[in-house]
Every structure is written in C-alpha cells, then in structure tokens.
Amino acid sequence: MLEFAGSDGILRNPSRPSDMPGTLVALLDRAARHAPDRPFVIETAPARPDAVARATTYAEARHAAHRIAANLAATTPPGAVVVALPPGVDHLLLTLAAYVAGRPVVPVSPAVFEHDDEVRLRLLRAVGPGLVAVPSGRCVPAAERLDAPVFAATTPEGPAAPLATLLAADADTGAVPPRPPDPASVCKLLLTSGSTGVPKAVAQTHRMLTANQGMLAALLPEACAGPPVVVDWLPWSHTFGGNHDLHLVLAHAGTLVVDEGPARDPDLSRRLRRLSAFRPTAIFDVPRVFDRLVASWEQATDDAARALSRAEVVFYAGASLSADTFDRLRRLLARHGPPGAFVSCGYGATETGPLVTAVPAALARTRKDPRGIGIPAPGASVRLARADAGTELWVSSPAVAPYYVGPDGTRAPVADVDGWFHTGDAGSLLDPADVAAGLRIDGRLAENFKLATGTWVPVAAVRERLAAALGPQVRHVVLVGPDAPFLAALLFVDGDPAPGLVRRVRDVLTHLAADGGGSSRIVRAAALVARALDPAAGEITEKGSVHEARVRTRCADLVAALYDGTRTATVPIVRVDDPQSST
C-alpha cells in the first residue's frame, strides 16, 4: 500500500526490496555457483544475427574477471578503468575485472575519442584513469591525451597495446588476489549526457546498484523470472543498458544477447531477427524503437509470435510512448505473448541506479494512459516539490548515488542535506483523485522556457499534445520560442511534406489555438522539416532522446524565419493567424 503525505507532496512505497548481496562481485560469485555453464553474454555476427558468434558463461566470466584483475594490478597504474568498447564480451570482462579489482569502471561512448570530445576528455582526466580501452586505432590519439596506458581492440597505433594482451585470461602474473570490495566503495563512474548542463561523472557504489536490483525484483518480479533472457542494444555507457539491464541479468543469472542498435541497424532488421531467434523473457527499449518494432510486427505476424512468445514484460523508458503505439503494442502482446504478459514502463536517472518508479503488473493490466511512470519502487520515496518552472520530482532511496565528480575534479553531493536528490524533472500525480495510479513526467524543468511575456512554457505537455494531434506522420516535435513573442515549433517529417499534411498541420494548430490555454500553450507557427534528426550531430542522444537545444541551434535560420515572416520554398511554414501561409 502506498503512503501519500499530501501536505508534503511525498509518495512513498513502504514495502521491502528483495534481498540482494552487497556487491556486484558477490552477485557474480552467486551466479557462477548456481549456473556455471549458462551463457552470461552472447554476441552474434551481423551476417548471422540469429546465431551465436561468441559467448561467455558465468563460470568463464568469473574466472576471466579474476585473472584480468590480476593483470590490471601487475601491468597498469592504479586508477579508473575507462572502457570505450561497444557492449559485448570484452566490455563485460573488463567491467567485471574492475569490480573485482576494486577500481571504478568508466564506460563511455567510443564517439568521445572518435570525435575528440574535449569536454568529456577533460572530465575523464579528472576521474584519474589508470587505463583506457578503445575499439580501434582511430580512437588512440585522443585516448593518449588521458596520460594512461591505452589498449585497442583492433589495429592499435603508436604506443597503444593490443587489448588481447590485457584480456589474456590465463596469464600468470603472480599478483596477490584482491580483497572482496566494500559495498560502500565506488565501482562505477557514469557520465551524464550534459544535454541540460555541463557533463558530470556520477559515482556509483556496489551497495546502491545491488539495492536497486532488489527494488526492481520486488516491484517487477516478472521481468526477473525465467531466468531472464534479454536481447539488448542499449549502450552500457548509460544507466538503462549498463545498470538496469546488465545487472538485472547478472542478479538473476540470466542471459543477455547483445544487439547493435538503430545506429548500426537502421532498419532494425537484425534486431527483429534476434528477437525472433532468442525469444526474450523481457523486452526493454525506448519508445522510438518500439514505434518501429510494432509496425514491423503487425506486418510480420510470425516474427511477432516468436519474439513475444516468452515476453512476460515489455518495458519502455526514457520517454513516453504514444497512445497509438501503446494500444497497438498491448494488442500484439495479448495476441502473441504468454498469459498475463503486460506492457510496463519506468522512470529513473543515472543518479538513482537507475530505477525509481515502474508500473507493476496489477496497475499495468488496468491502465489506459501510457504517460504514467508507475509507483515508487519498494524503499523509494518521491516528493513533488514546487519550483519556478513547475513541480519537480525529488527522490529518496537506497540507490541514490553519493557524489558527482566535476571537470575540475571537485566532488559535490548528489542529494541535499535531507537526503533528497533533485532530479530536474517536472512531474505530477497521473490522477490527483487516485494516488494508486502513480506518477507522470511533465518533462525537464531545464527545457521549459519563458516567452517574452514572462510566461513559462510547459514544454513536455505542449509537445505531447501537439504530437498526439498530428499523428505518426510527424516524427519529432521541437518547440522554439525562448524570449520570443509567441510559441512556435519545428516538425520533423518523413519525406517532402505533401499539401495534405500542410493543411492538416494548419487545421491542428487552429483547433488547438481555439481550445485556449493561453500563450504558453498555443503554437502560432510551425515549420515542416523534411529530414531525420541526426545522431552524429548530437540531435539524438545515445539514449534515443531528442537534444532540443542542439536542434534549435542547428536550425537557427529556420527558427528566425518562424518569427520574422521570412518564407522559403523548400520548408513550408504554417501560421494559424495567416491563412495565406506557405503551402
């Protein structure tokens, strides 16, 4: 039973999390004892996405982790283990070895080194690297600037050593086996995206990460049963893939099949084949990928039947799923999934391990609104705190991180003096009359902005309303208008906008304007942009979310055209107060 202190705005789940060992090393030891020959991580080849190309079992992974930890002690200076490898066996073994050795692992995107990202390189220098592992020689020049030994998986250049020498699991170094880590010790440093500020490294301890798995197991036991089989592309440099999914598999001695993700598998054909071949017991993804999976499964029912046949839970996070995709996904799961299967979602942050809330089975089977993020996990409390730009979600739980590391190496506490982590996310009760319905997210407070009138724009609410009214022909909605006289939008569409779509946009803007809501909720102009958002330019983050500030910057000329009346023949602009707008 949830507890809600209305006067303080605190929603609390007093239930107990499931019991978990105090360290990730203890989780590995337990899995290796109980399921030594079970595959932990499986890689497949792009040419054969339905066949095993490489795998490691729990017994093999534990043995290798201890040997590599000894190699680290014998051959590299003390310090953090920076891993810029894609998810897979090598990345896994280095991560486990760092856990065993008592060194923090710092997983980062290879793009940090490929694009010489000085902001993040400075942050990596601040955490004190002891070694850097990169995928190829292309990354070596930037990696060398961290003043630590560099190991490259392929084509090492200059002083970089082959990664295989570090991963040689049978090397006899004569090093003394490390002591078991302290549960309070920092085992991982995850970099924040920096989409709403300067990137920071979040220090994560063994205890907070194992506690978070106990919270997850108590709230969503269906996701952990089986043992779980997960087919996952989510990057391990972010908390959804690298903590939530990877540690869920570890905690329950399951199997993780590595996928490539939409950047390397743009039509998702290989992801669809892997889902059909390995038949996961739980499917985790972001809404923009579920949009496409659902469309494919509706056309290929045999693939849907195989992919969903064992899926007790289909879970999305990172953004809200559209009502249309939500309903279609539920129908597919009801038709092809096991009895009682359900669509869930959750909310969390890098600073919280990540899980804070999720939609449990009982709530999932009755809910109609995909915007809900569920209820606090056992042991967690969420406070609805008033802020200038809205109501902010504050979190207290056993899984809140202890501190940040900034680019200058200074530490700052994650939580305030009372133990609350201020998430920066706006939120509210999904149904003020029914606390049991849980919470909803209303966007990032930092993305809200003021018009020239001084009125705050609730960006997420306006964007969500506009996107729902326009339908799937519009892939992304980016609102513009900080310090501007009125609110406008960039609408990213597939292909050249047909006259019918332009008319529909005008009708929708006119209808929404007639509904009222004030200047902060009425979009007076919109540009139809016939291109996809570009992940390489930072418009789409690795997590799949839209970096709106980056989009506005890259479309600065178009944004100016929305306000000064400039017309263009290539990008239609619709104005609800101008019936002669461009068509």
pLDDT tens-digit profile, the chain (583 residues): 799 988 889 999 999 999 999 999 999 999 999 999 999 999 998 889 989 999 999 999 999 999 999 999 999 999 999 999 999 999 999 999 999 999 999 999 999 999 888 999 999 999 999 999 999 999 999 999 999 999 999 987 778 899 999 998 565 555 566 788 999 999 999 999 776 668 899 999 999 999 999 999 999 999 999 899 999 999 999 999 999 999 999 999 999 999 988 888 888 999 999 999 999 999 999 988 999 999 999 999 999 999 999 999 999 998 888 888 999 999 999 999 999 999 999 999 999 999 999 999 999 988 988 889 999 999 999 999 987 767 999 999 999 999 999 999 999 999 999 999 999 999 999 999 999 999 998 888 888 888 988 888 888 889 988 988 888 889 899 999 888 999 999 999 987 787 888 999 999 999 998 887 788 899 999 999 999 888 878 888 766 678 888 899 899 889 989 988 755 556 889 988 743 344 4
Give the number of other CB atoms < 10 A from CB of residue 82. Answer: 27
Q: What is the per-residue pLDDT for 517?
A: 74
Q: To which CATH superfamily is domain 448-575 assigned?
A: ANL, C-terminal domain (3.30.300.30)
- Range(s) within the chain of domains with CATH label 3.40.50.12780: 6-429
- Cα dihedral 425, 430, 434, 438 sign: negative
The pLDDT value given to residue 564: 83
**Residue 407: how many other CB atoms lie within 10 Å:** 18
* Structural Rg of the chain based on CA atoms: 24
In whole angstroms, give the CA distance from residue 162 to residue 237: 22
Task: Let me know the angle formed at the C-alpha of 569 by 567 and 571, rounded to the nearest 5 degrees.
Answer: 80
- What is the CATH number assigned to the segment(s) 6-429? 3.40.50.12780
The reported pTM is: 0.88
**Which residue intervals of the chain bear CATH 3.30.300.30?**
448-575
- Residues whose CB is less than 8 angstroms from the CB of residue 564 and which lie 6 or more positions away in sequence, other chains included: none
Q: Measuring CA to CA, how many Å separate 243 from each of 113, 135, 358?
A: 23, 21, 16
Q: What is the b/e burial string over 18-46, where b = at least 16 CB atoms within 10 angstroms of the residue's CB?
A: bebbbbbbbbbbbbbeebeeebbbbbbee
Task: Determine the pLDDT at residue 236.
Answer: 98
Q: What pLDDT is stored for residue 583 in this prediction?
A: 41
Closest C-alpha to 207, from 185, 189, 190, 188: 185
pLDDT at 576: 86
